[in-house]
Amino acid sequence: MADIAKLIRTIPHYPKEGIMFRDITTLLKDPQGFKETIDLLIAKYKDSRFDYIAGIEARGFILGSALAYALGKGFIPVRKKGKLPGKTVTQSYNLEYGSDTIEIHDDAIEAGSRVLLIDDLIATGGTAIGAITLIEKVGGVIFETAFVVDLPELGGAKKIQDLGHKVFALCEFSGH
């Protein structure tokens, strides 16, 4: 079995001084590592009742689309501002090392559809909570949120749990 945490490379001081960047490109390029990552998510969600997987640009697309394909679900992109061609709703948020704006098509989700939200990593939770807000604004119901990496000391997973949502992560790193 591949050790997912060991396959994730840490790049200190990227993109800013003091940030330990947990780089999943080394996990994705490892055939066993990538397979194991998706297989663990398949095992976790194969018997769950939900309608869509929403992935956050860009690393959430890689994980979310592989999982959506494997589970026979539709995939919904949550994109950076200005990329989606249709009518969108928009949310700005702060993340561990800055701020950003994300969007979703306003007709992406039928009212009441259950959505699994996926991204590579949760730090302060700003990005994921922004995406949750968007999904709920367009009528979706958050079924659960899933990440490869949790940085528990930054408190994002707890914030999402405090909002009443479930959080699943394949591994944790201490510190920032």
Closest separation between CB of residue 86 and ligand AMP, Å? 23
Tokens 């994002």, residue?
156
Tokens representing 33? 């590592």
Q: What is the contact mask toward ligand AMP in residues 65 to 104, using x (rule: CB under 6 A)?
A: ------------------------------xx--------
CB closer to ligand AMP out of 19 and 139 = 19
Q: Is 20 in the site for ligand AMP (CB under 6 A)?
A: yes
Angstrom distance (rounded) from CA 161 to CA 61: 23
Question: Please, which residues have CB within 8 angstroms of residue 37's CB and are 6 or more apart in sequence?
Answer: 2, 4, 27, 63, 148, 170
Q: Which residues are catalytically annotated?
A: 59, 96
Closest separation between CB of residue 15 and ligand AMP, Å? 9
Q: Is 163 in the site for ligand AMP (CB under 6 A)?
A: no
With beta carbons less than 8 A apart as the criterion, state whether 144 and 166 touch.
yes
Angstrom distance (rounded) from CA 99 to CA 44: 31
- For ligand AMP, the binding residues (CB under 6 A) are 19-22, 56, 59, 95-96, 119-128, 156
